[in-house]
Amino acid sequence: MQLLLVEDHQSSAQELSEALTQLDSQYVITHVTTVASALEELESGTVFDAALVDLGLQDARSLEAPRKLCEDFPDLIVVALTGETDSRPAPAVFRLGAQDFLHKGEHGVDGIDRALRSAIERNRREQSLEGVTKIDERTGSLNQRGCQGEVDNHPLGKLSHEICNQLNVVALEADVIQLAVGNGRVAEVDESIASIHQKCDQLASLVRQFLR
């Protein structure tokens, strides 16, 4: 996996890079410390499977990092990483186009690895729908792709998309639990359950924000 790691703390970046490559030798990690450097890497033509982006960078505080990357490279899979315990930025991060929002203290390397792979898989599924026409030639009616377009244009379309993204993550974590239980991997079960709790909190935050 070609991963762009945007993290300005050298020790944290080195520790995470080493842990990911030990977990899976197929990781090829390019580390940069600023959003400007990340944009340069992307503009150079290097193709990355995903970008893991810290929200506390010196040249892009809070939401600036995912905003710049998602605006300039909308096809890039972005997973936001924060050292803060506050989940309130999560809805805004998803609205910008990021695929996931993780807390450093709550996710070990296994959790980050799963989040990256889940984001890539969700993107692959979305891309697989690109070639589907909006009108079913047999029935002449809107098919699933066409209906999704109608939803996207609806005032509630963005909220629906964000909730669906979170529910996809919950479903994938449930799959991980099922597999881990069968193989006796208790640690993975605990991490997945913690991730499900986090995603449920983020879903609740989305709904509360909408109702304000």
Give the pLDDT confidence of 147-169 residue by residue, as tens digits: 444 445 555 556 666 666 666 66
| pTM summary value | 0.64
pLDDT at site 138: 45
pLDDT at site 172: 60
Cα 77 to the center of its chain, rounded Å: 7
pLDDT at site 53: 95
Give the pLDDT confidence of 134-143 residue by residue, as tens digits: 444 444 444 4
Give the pLDDT confidence of 93-121 residue by residue, as tens digits: 888 888 888 888 777 888 899 889 888 88
Nearest CA among 42, 34, 36, 43 for reference residue 13: 34
DSSP the chain: -EEEEE-S-HHHHHHHHHHHHHH-TT-EEEEESSHHHHHHHHHTT---SEEEEESEETTEETTHHHHHHHHH-TTS-EEEEESS---TTHHHHHHHT-SEEEEGGG--HHHHHHHHHHHHHHHHHHHHTTTS-SB-TTT-SB-HHHHHHHHHHSTTHHHHHHHHHHHHHHHHHHHHHHHHHHHT-HHHHHHHHHHHHHHHHHHHHHHHHHH-
pLDDT at site 202: 75
For the chain, report the end-to-end CA distance as a whole number of angstroms: 41
Label each residue of 5-39 as H, E or C: EECCCHHHHHHHHHHHHHHCCCCEEEEECCHHHHH
Q: What band does 31 get if pLDDT is binned at 50, 70 and 90?
A: very high
Q: 131 pLDDT exceeds 50?
A: no
Q: 80 pLDDT exceeds 50?
A: yes
